[in-house]
Each structure stands twice: as C-alpha cells, then as structure tokens.
Amino acid sequence: MITLERIVRELRDYDGEEIKIMEVCGTHTSSIFKNGIRSLISPKIRLISGPGCPVCVTPSVYVDKLVDIAGQEGHCVLTFGDMMKVKGSRMSLTEAVAAGARVRVLYSPLDAVKIALEDKNTQYVFAAVGFETTTPVYGVLLDEITKREIHNLKLLTSLKIMVPALSYVCENEKNIDAFLAPGHVSVIIGCDVYKELAQKYKKPFVVAAL
Amino acid sequence: MCVAVPGKVMEINGDTAKVDVMDNICDVNVKLVNVKPGDYVLMHAGCAIDVLAQDTAREILDVFAELEEEVHDNA
C-alpha cells in the first residue's frame, strides 16, 4: 500500500535526473509555499511558478487605466484585494488611494450591485480580472446589472483563458517535465483540454487544487 | 482571489443561499448551479460554481480543518 510517509520519503530521497514541475496556478504556488512543501522534496525536483495567477499576469497598462478611473471626479474602482499592490507604469491602486483616488476592496463582484444601487451619483468600475474560474461570476454580475437596469456600474475586463497560456509554455519552455494543472479552472473547463496538451507535447498533467 | 471553498447549503431564497462553511453562514449566489438544501457546493468569489459529492466536500473540509489546526498551533 502506498502511504503518505512513503510518498514523502520518495520525494525527499529522489536522486535521479533533475525534474522540473510547473505549478500553473497562483494558488498552487501559495499553497506550496505556505505548507513548506519545497523543504520536503529533493533538490533534484524543481517547482516552477506558472502563468496562472490572474493578478501577476495583469499588464501594467490595465492598472494604469484603473488608476486613471479611480482618480476621476465621481468615480470609484471596485476590486479584489489582490490587485491593490500590483504596479502600473506609474503607481499601484494602493498608492492611488494615498493620492486621493477612490478604491474599494470587495470579496465578491456581486457585492458591487448593492454598492452601486446605494450611491447612484458615483460611477463604479469593477476591476474584472481572472481566468475561467471567475468569469462565470462576472456573467452573473452582468445579468444583475442588466435586469436591474443599473447604469452606474461597469466592468473593466482583463479576462484570460488558460489553454493558450499553457500551449505557449509547452511550445516555448521545452525543459519543463510535468505540469500541476489548475483545479478551480478545471471545475469550469473540465480535464479533457489537458489530455490534448499531454498527448501533443508528451508531458504529464495532474489537476490539483486547494 | 483564486481560492474556492466547499460548503453545505442550508436554505435557498431565490438566487441566494445560506451556506455553512466550517460553521460560518455565508450568503452565496446559486444562479449558476442547481442545488437544494443539504447539497454541498464549491464557492468562489461569492458564487457557487459547482455542486460537490458529499464525500468529496467532506474530504476537502477535513483538509481545511487540519490546515487551520496547523496554522493555529504554529501561531
């Protein structure tokens, strides 16, 4: 029987050829770091952060636009907290707030509906970033905006899809041996897309999330 | 923002459900899924994005409980 102890031992004692595993999702990177997984595995197994953090792959020009909007009279940017410290070419949203701009951090994009209805004199703009996991939530938000005829809530989108990013990595980073595929994205898109990549590039993919 | 957590649907009122996440009761939009009280859902950014089998949900919640214990012990 394969026990957790045996897996830990094998990962720690591995002394074969160097293996590079890309953790595709930002949550993977965070979980691996928080749980000290790097310290449990052999130095011959390298974990490489991938392109799957929607905040990290946000272009600076997008942050610049948010900063401009937040600084406009009668405007307010609504955002996930993760975006606050991302640098644009001039400043981050945190720095924009310090300079007098209006920004509010929300847990859910759907909270924006109530905020917009309560203050119709302000034009709210939600910083809609994300991959496939978050996109359906924006769909629900747009549905609410349309149904309730809310005119002071808009979305500035920077939405991405995972497979082209992974295809690019497979095509251009030949030295990656395996991929830890994003779990929450796979809740939306399923696992078949990885089969195609695995067959084309002859690399193993394992879907995992926490 | 990428984190998704499982919870148990307690009651449903229109598009919004009361969901129990490790003893915290949260309001969750359930427009994207077909659920009834007693079902487990996977929540992301205030929205249920999937319905989970009970044993899968319990397994994930157990891992979260274990992690919380670890974090608490090391705090």
The answer to whether the Cβ–Cβ distance between B29 and A140 falls below 8 Å is: yes
- Which residues in B lie closer than 8 A to residue A210 (C-beta atoms)? 60, 63
| pLDDT for res B75 | 61
Q: What is the pLDDT of residue B69?
A: 76
Model confidence at B58: pLDDT above 80: yes
Looking at the domain assignment, is residue A74 inside a domain?
yes
Residue A128: pLDDT band by 50, 70, 90 thresholds? very high
Mean pLDDT of B10-18: 96
A187 vs B50: CB contact, 8 Å cut-off?
Answer: yes
**pLDDT at position A50:** 83
**Domain of A100: which CATH number?**
3.40.50.11740
Contact A108 B49 (CB under 8 A): no
Tell me the CA distances in angstroms from B28 to B7, B24, B58, one per residue in order: 10, 12, 19
Give the count of alpha carbons within 13 A of A46, CB side only.
10
Q: Cα angle at A56 between A54 and A60, to 5 degrees?
A: 105
CATH number of the domain residue B20 falls in: 2.30.30.140
pLDDT, tens digit, 9 for 90 and up, residues A133-188: 999 999 999 999 999 999 999 999 999 998 898 999 999 988 999 999 988 888 88
Task: Report pLDDT for A210.
Answer: 59
Read off the pLDDT of each residue in A2-13 and give the average, rounded to a whole number. Answer: 86
- Note whether A105 and A155 are same-domain residues: yes
Q: What is the DSSP string of chain A?
A: ---HHHHHHHHHH--SS-EEEEEEEHHHHHHHHHTTGGGGS-TTEEEEEEEE-TTTT--HHHHHHHHHHHHSTTEEEEE-GGGTT---SS--HHHHHHTT--EEE-S-TTHHHHHHHH-TTSEEEEEEEESTTTHHHHHHHHHHHHHTT--SEEEEEEE--HHHHHHHHHHH-TT--EEEEEHHHHHHH-SHHHHHHHHHHT--EEEE--
Answer yes or no: is A133 within a domain. yes
Of B23, B36, B8, which Cα lies nearest the Cα of B65? B23
Greater model confidence, A98 or A3? A98
In a domain, A2, yes or no: no
Structure-model confidence comparison of residues A138 and A31, the more confident one: A138
- What is the predicted pLDDT for the residue at B39? 96
* B42 vs A: CB within 8 A: yes
Q: How many domains does chain A have?
A: 2
Residue A46: which CATH number? 3.40.50.11750
If you average pLDDT over residues A122-141, what whole number do you get?
95
The answer to whether ipTM exceeds 0.85 is no
Q: Are residues A134 and A168 in the same domain?
A: no
Domain that holds residue A173: 16-54+162-208
pLDDT of residue A78: 98
Is the domain of A111 the same as that of A150? yes
Q: Is the pLDDT of residue A4 over 80?
A: no
pLDDT > 90 fraction of chain A, expressed in percent and rounded: 70
Q: Is A69 in the same domain as A148?
A: yes
Q: Are residues A68 and A154 both part of a single domain?
A: yes
In a domain, A95, yes or no: yes
- Determine the average pLDDT of the residues in A33-50: 87
Q: In the 8-state DSSP scheme, what is residue B56?
A: H
**A13: pLDDT strictly greater than 70:** yes
For residue B17, give its domain range.
Answer: 5-74
Collect contacts of A193-198 with beta carbons under 8 A, ≥24 apart. Answer: A193/A162, A193/A163, A197/A163, A197/A166, A197/A167, A197/A170
Same domain, yes or no, for A38 and A88? no
User: Is it the case that residue A42 has pLDDT exceeding 90?
Assistant: yes
Q: In the structure encoding, which two tokens stand for residue A117, read together?
A: 């209805």
Number of domains in chain B: 1
- β pairing state of B16-21 and B47-52: unpaired
Q: Is the pLDDT of residue B74 over 90?
A: no
Task: Check if B31 contacts A (Cβ < 8 Å).
Answer: yes
Is A103 inside a domain boundary?
yes
